[in-house]
Each structure stands twice: as structure tokens, then as C-alpha cells.
Amino acid sequence: MMTAGFFQFVSSICAVIACACAMFVAWRANQWRNSDEVRDGFKSAAARTASLEGRVAVVETRLEHMPTAEQVNGIKSALSRLEGEMDGVQATMTKVEMSVNRIESWLIEGRGK
């Protein structure tokens, strides 16, 4: 029976120590929460957050005016079509230039009289 009483005594001591540890942790947590360093840290974090919100707003405003990927692809395809058309115009202009040169040569040689 002596062992049962001993275990009850040790159990009671452990409970008292656990309560003391819990009270100590609560006391330290309250001190940490009220410290100036923590308050300054919260103020600094709030200032950084406000600064970042401002920067994000600027980026969002700039992004509103930028083209979407769909629009950029549309411009690329339009430029490709225009390039093809310009190649066709260049070929036609080469033929016209050759014709003009022939007519000019014929007129210069005096056959146009």
C-alpha cells in the first residue's frame, strides 16, 4: 500500500509543477505581447504592408493598359499577313519597274516617234 500512496504523492507534485509551468508561460506570453519591440514590429509590418499595397495598386493600374496575350497574338498574325501582302506588292512593283524601264528605253531610242 505504500507504493499507491507514493504514486499519488508524485502525481500531485507533477500536477503542481505543471500548473506552475503553465502560469510561468502565461506570464511570459503576456510580457512578450506588451513589449515595445513587438509593438514596433507590428507598426513596421503595417507600414510595409501599406507600402506594398500602394505598389500593387500601381502595378495593377499599369497592367490594365497592357495588351492581353490574345491581343498580342492578333497583332502578330496581322503583321504576318501584312508581310505576305508586302511580298506580293514587291513582286508586282518589280514587274512594273521592268515594264517602265522597257518603255523608257524604247522611247529614248527614238522608236516612239
- Phi/psi of residue 80, each to 5°? -65, -45
pLDDT recorded at residue 24? 86
Same-domain status, 78 and 109: yes
Same-domain status, 5 and 41: no
Higher pLDDT, 30 or 94: 94
Asked if residue 112 has pLDDT above 60, the reply is: no
Same-domain status, 84 and 109: yes
- Phi/psi of residue 14, each to 5°? -60, -40
pLDDT band at 113 (very low <50, low <70, confident <90, very high): low
Same-domain status, 88 and 78: yes
pLDDT recorded at residue 31? 64
The rounded distance, in Å, linking the Cα atoms of 35 and 27 is: 13
Query: Radius of gyration (Cα) for the chain, nearest Å?
Result: 44
Q: What is the pTM of this model?
A: 0.41
Q: List the domain range (segments joined by +) for residue 26.
A: 1-34
Same-domain status, 90 and 111: yes
How many domains in the chain?
3
pLDDT recorded at residue 50? 87
Q: Rounded mean pLDDT of 63-87?
A: 92
